Structure 1
Amino acid sequence: MGRDTPLVWIVDSAYTGELHARLGVAERLGYGYELIPLPNDDAGAYARLLEDRYGRACRDGASRPVILLSGTGEDTIGPIADLKGVFQERLLNVYLASILPDEPNLRLQEYDLIASPQLSGANIVTTVGVVHRMTGRLLDQAFHRHQDVFADLARPLVGLLVGGNTRYCFGFHEDHARCLGRRVASIVASLQGSLVVTNSRRTPKDALAALLDEIAGLQCRFFDWQQTGADFYPALLAHGDVLVATGDSVSMCSEASYTGKPLLVDIRDCATEIYHRHIIGKLIAYGAAKPLSDAFQPWTYTPPDPTGAVVAAIHERLL
C-alpha cells in the first residue's frame, strides 16, 4: 500500500451485526483496516490516542486520508463527529445505520456520509436493507465446504433462520414459535422438499423446542449455532432454495436477500419492533422479500447490495 492509500479505521462494537457491517465495508474497500476502541469519557485522551496512531501510520511524513467507520449500537455520534476538528479534511467520517430513532441525533449532519434504509438526502446513501458482511465469494466458499451436509436433502430446500427476542420486544414465546412452525411446515409440505433450521443466541430454548416439535414430521435437520462453524450460516444461505427468516433481525434479512433467493419474513407485530417492520417493509416493496404466510409462490428479483452501494459512494468521495 502506498502513501496515498487511505487508512481505514473501524470503531469497535459489542453488537455483532453492527461490527459486521463495518467489517463488510472495510473488506470490500480493499485497503486493509484497523479496529479502534470505542470513545471513552475523556475526549481529549481519545483524540490523542488516534493522533498517535495516525502518526505511526505516516512515519514518512506523508498525509494520508482516513476513512472512519462507525454506526448504530453504542452512542458514539458526538465523540466521533468531534474528530473532524482533529483531522480536518484528512478524515472521511462514515456512519453506518441499522435502526435509527424517529428523531435522529442532529450531529449526524456533521458526518461526510451516512448509510441508512430509513433516511434520504444529501450525503446519505439510502440502502435497501442494512449494510452487512456477506459476499458472493463467502457464499461460494461456504457452499463447497459444506456440500456434503446438504447433498442428500430433498429439493427444494427451505432454510429457516430463527432469531428471537430483542431488547424491546419479547413476543418470541412458545405459542408464537408453534405458529411459525406450522406455517413453515405447510410450505415445505406443499413443495415436497426438506427443511434446514438454525437458531441464534437470542432464541429462547422453550420456544425453539416448541418450533422443532411442530416441524417434527418433515424431512428436517436442525443445527445449533453454538455447535457449528462460523461459515455454516452462509452455507445454509447458499444451499437454500427458499429462505424464511424471523423479522427481529434486519441484518439477517438483508443477508438473506443478498442471495437473490425467495425470502419470506415473519413480521408479526408481537415478535418484531416497528422499526424492524419498516425496514423489512422496504425490502418487500423492492421485491426482495414477502411476508410469511401458509402458501408460497416463487418469484425472482435483482439482489440488493447495500454494502456495495456504500463502498461505491466512499470511492466517489475519495476521488
Structure 2
Amino acid sequence: MPAGRHHELHSGAAAPRIWLMTGYRAGDNSQVLALAEGLQARLGWPFEIKRFRYRRTELASNLLLGPNLVGVIKEGSSHLAPPWPDLILTAGRRNEPICRWIQRQAAGQRVRLVHVGRTWAAIERFDLIVTTPQYRLPQRPNILHNETPLHRIQDDRLAAEAAAWGPRFAHLPAPRIAVIMGGNSGPYTFDPAAGTRLAQQASAFAKARGGSLLVTTSARTPPDALAAFERALDAPAHLYRWTVDAQENPYFAYMALADELIVTGDSMSMLAEACATRKPVHIFDLGEGKYAMRTDRREAVAQRPQLKGARKGWQRDYLRAFIFRMAMKIPPKRMTRDIRIVHRKLIDTGRAVWLGDPFPAQTPPPLDSVERAVAAVAALFDGEAAQNPAAAGEAVGRKAG
C-alpha cells in the first residue's frame, strides 16, 4: 500500500493503516500474518509487513529503557517513519518496545496495539491481546481467549497447493499421512529417542493402512532428532527438510493432500493449522514416563518402547527442562505457559487424539479463532465497542455455536 493512502471500505469509512510486525519465531509470525490476512479477506483492510533483526543485548535494553529501538539492528530491519499506522499487529517479547516506541512517536494520533499470545509488558498497555489457554491470562475486556492459536488454513490456499504439489506425490500410495515436526519446547525435548519413536510409530501407522508419509521438519527441529528419525523410518515417504532460504515449501500442500496428520505436541501453531483442516489429527508425545506431555502418565509409561542406546547419560536439554518446571511453580503464572492445557482442549473437543488412540467417528468441529480475532480487532474502531473488544470476539463464538 503506498504511503499516506488509505483504502476505502464498502461503508465509505477509511480502512486503517496496518503495520504487521514480524520477529524471529516462525509460529509468532504465522499467527500475526493469519490475523492480517483475516482482516484483509473479511474487511478489506490491507497491511504492510515490517521485519526486524535484533541485537544480542536487546533483552537488557528492553528491560531497562522501556519503549526504544536500541535492541534493533537497523541494517536489515524495516525503516520506521511517518505516516504512522492506526493499528499494529505483533507477537513476541522482542517487538513490544518497538511497538510502544511507535505509539510514543505518533503523538496526538491513536495507534492501536494488538498483541497475539502473551505480553511481557503490563496488560493495560495493549488495546487487545489475543491469547490461548496455555498462557493462563486473566479475564479482561481487552483479552480475547481463543481455544487455539490463529491459523492460515484457507480453502483456496489448500486447493492451490494441492494442485501444484499433487503430481509430485502421485507415486506415493494412499492414504497419505502428514508428519509435522517441531522441536524442543519448555520442559519437552525432541531428542534422538523421540525421533526414533516418532519414525517407528508413524511408519507403523502408514503401513497398517497401506499408505505413505509426507514428512516435514521446521525451523526448530534438532538435527540429531531428524537423523534418528531417518534411520528408523520404515515406510514410503517424502521428506522435506526445512531451510530458511528454501525457494518452495510443501507445508500447506501436505495439509491439503494428507488424509490424516501426525503433529509433534510442542507446537501449538502447527496443531491449530492441522486441526483447522478438520482432518484426523494425532498428537505425538515428545516425552516418556514422568517427562510425558499427556497427563495420563501411567499409560504413557506402559506404552513406552525399549530403545536401547537411544538415550545415554545426562543431557543439557533435561537440565533446561528441570529449570522450566521449577519456573512453572513460581508466580506470576502469566509469565510461563502450560501447553498441556491446549492438548486437553483439542482432545476434549474431538479435534485431536494422542497418537495410538482411536479417532472419533464424527467430523471434528471447525475452528473460529481467526473469525473471533477479526471481530475483536474491528471492535477497536467501533465507538463504545472499543471499550470491550473481547466481547465482540466472544459474540462470534456464541453465534457460531
2:353–2:359 Cα contact (<8 Å) kept: no
In the alignment, does 2:214 pair up with 1:196? yes
Equivalent residue, structure 2, for 1:177: 195
State whether structure 2 residue 121 is matched by structure 1 residue 138: no
Give 1:18's aligned residue: 28
C-alpha displacement of 1:236: 0.3
Distance 1:154 1:44 in 2: 54
Paired residue secondary structure (2:282): strand
The residue identity in structure 2 corresponding to 1:283 is: L
Give the aligned partner of residue 60 of structure 1. Answer: none
Partner residue of 2:17? 7
Residue 33 (str. 1) matches residue 42 (str. 2): no
Offset of 1:11 from its aligned partner? 2.3
Post-superposition Cα deviations, 1:91-138, rounded to whole Å, max 9, x if no partner, equal 3221111xx4xxx64611232211111244422221121123332222
Please say if 1:80 is aligned against 2:80. no
Distance 1:289 1:73, change over 3 A: farther
Q: Greater CA deviation, 227-236 or 190-199?
A: 227-236
Kindly tell me: are residues 85 and 285 of structure 1, through their superposed partners in 2, closer, same or farther at Cα, counting changes over 3 Å?
farther
* Letter aligned with residue 159 of structure 2: D
Q: 1:300 to 1:45 in 2, by over 3 A?
A: closer
CA distance in structure 2 between the aligned counterparts of 1:181 and 1:8, rounded to whole angstroms: 43
* Residue aligned with 1:70, SS: strand
Equivalent AA in structure 1 for residue 94 of structure 2: E
- Kindly indicate whether the alpha-carbon contact (under 8 Å) linking 2:350 and 2:360 is maintained by their aligned counterparts in 1: no
- Tell me how far 1:263 sits from its aligned partner: 0.6
Asked whether the 8 Å contact 1:21–1:96 carries over to 2, the reply is: yes
1:248 to 254, 266, 278: 266
Matches of 1:177 and 1:156, distance apart in 2: 22
Aligned length: 301
1:23 is displaced (CA, Å) by 1.8
Q: What displacement does 1:310 show?
A: 0.7
Judging changes above 3 Å, is the alpha-carbon distance between structure 1 residues 208 and 44 closer, same or farther for their aligned structure 2 residues?
closer
Structure 2 distance, partners of 1:240, 1:14, is 29
Measure the CA separation in 2 of the matches of 1:298 and 1:153.
26
Tell me the residue number matched to 1:215: 233
Q: Distance in 2 between matches of 1:45 and 1:208?
A: 37
Q: 1:125-154: per-residue Cα shift (whole Å, max 9, x none)? A: 211211233322221211111110222322
Q: Which residue of 2 aligns with 1:162?
A: 181
For residues 3-152 of structure 1, the aligned pairs below 5 Å read 4-30=14-40, 31-36=45-50, 41=65, 43=67, 52-54=81-83, 66-74=86-94, 76=96, 80=100, 83=103, 86=106, 90-97=110-117, 100=118, 105=120, 107-118=122-133, 119=137, 120-152=139-171
Q: Which residue of the partner structure matches residue 342 of structure 2? A: 279
What is the alpha-carbon root mean square deviation over aligned residues?
A: 3.3
| Offset of residue 29 of structure 1 | 1.3
**1:37–1:143: structure 2 CA closer, same or farther, 3 Å change rule?**
closer
If the length of structure 1 is used for normalisation, what is the TM-score? 0.81
SS in structure 2 of the partner of residue 53 of structure 1: coil
Which of 351, 370, 379 is equivalent to 1:288? Answer: 351
Q: What SS is found at the alignment partner of 1:146?
A: helix
| 1:302 corresponds to which of 354, 365, 387 | 365
Residues of 2 paired with 1:297 and 1:153: CA distance? Answer: 26
Q: Is the 8 A contact 1:262 1:298 kept in 2?
A: no
Q: Which amino acid aligns with 1:222?
A: L
* Cα separation, 1, equivalents of 2:98 and 2:216: 38
Q: 1-side partners of 2:23 and 2:141: how far apart?
A: 27
* 1:51 CA drift (Å): 9.3
Distance of 2:194 and 2:35 partners within structure 1: 35
Amino acid in the other structure paired with 1:223 = Y
Check conservation: 2:88, 2:111, Cα contact below 8 A: yes
Report the secondary structure of 2:122's partner residue: helix
- 2:257 is matched with which residue: 225, 232, 239? 239
Runs of 5+ in structure 1 lacking a partner?
Answer: 56-64
Q: Deviations over 1:42-66 (max 9, x none)?
A: 84789xx9995126xxxxxxxxx71
Letter in 2 for 1:139: L
Post-superposition offset of 1:266 = 1.5
Q: Aligned residue for 2:329?
A: none
Residue type matched to 2:209 in 1? L
